[in-house]
Structure 1
Amino acid sequence: MCLGIPGQVVEITDAENDLAKVDVNGIKRTISVRLLARENLRSGDWVLVHVGFAMAKIDQHEADLTLEAVKQMGQSYTDELSAFISSSIL
């Protein structure tokens, strides 16, 4: 199962290559935000992340609701978080 888990943009690390550092549940990784290039992402914005890629921009309320819902999915959430932990763009 593919899940998107909420992550908060910490900083745009390489705007030219569409890379940003995000915080997902206290784990910070650099991910590709290329799919959201037209969204003008900034530090503090929320995105749905799947294995190193931001898939959608969301607001704080949606991030909170989504995080609560995916945590209730148990193993699927754990698997997605593990995939994020092991992902690396650089």
Structure 2
Amino acid sequence: MCLGVPGQIVAIGDDAFQLATVDVCGVKRDVNISLICDESPQQLLGKWVLVHVGFAMSVIDEDEAKQTQEALIAMSQLEHEVGDFLGLNQK
């Protein structure tokens, strides 16, 4: 399964081939923006993007980004419960 994670662009270089810094739930990562940069990279500063394997795949709105973050956090909180359930079935 492939998963895109929402993050906000917090720093950016002068051209589309430089990496931008994206904040994903408080963790900052360098991300390639060449797939989403049609004009000046500076216009992407502050935008929310969907990140997959080090690339910003699309620009998304803030509400969608926050809803996706909440869903991912909820899924991670259930992960140990699912693991416990699967462990019980293997006994």
- TM-score w.r.t. length of structure 1: 0.71
- Residues 7, 22 of structure 1: 8 Å contact kept: yes
Relative to 1, partners in 2 of residues 1:55 and 1:62: Cα closer, same or farther, differing over 3 Å? Answer: same
Q: Give, in angstroms, the shift of residue 18 of structure 1.
A: 4.2
Aligned to 2:11: 11
Report the CA distance between 1:30 and its aligned residue: 1.1
Q: 1:68 to 1:16 in 2, by over 3 A?
A: closer
**1:69 Cα deviation (Å)?**
1.4
Contact kept, 8 Å, 2:16 with 2:33, in 1: the verdict is no
Q: How many residues align?
A: 76
SS in 2 for 1:35: coil
**Structure with greater contact order relative to length (CA < 8 Å, sep ≥ 6):** 1
* Correspondence for 1:83: none
* Structure-1 residue corresponding to 2:24: 24
Identity %: 53
Deviation of 1:16 (Å): 4.5
- Contact map agreement 1:9 1:21 (CA 8 A) in 2: yes
For residues 49 and 16 of structure 1, the distance between their equivalents in structure 2, rounded to whole angstroms, comes to 16
Match 2:74 to one of 72, 79, 82:
72
Across the aligned residues of Structure 1 and Structure 2, the Cα RMSD in angstroms comes to 2.2
Partners of 1:39 and 1:2 in 2: how far apart? 28
Seen in structure 2, the aligned counterparts of structure 1 residues 66 and 16 have a Cα distance that, compared at 3 Å, is: closer
Unaligned runs of 5+ in 2: 80-91
In structure 1, how many angstroms separate the alpha carbons of the residues matched to 2:47 and 2:16? 19
Structure 1, gaps ≥5 residues long: 78-90
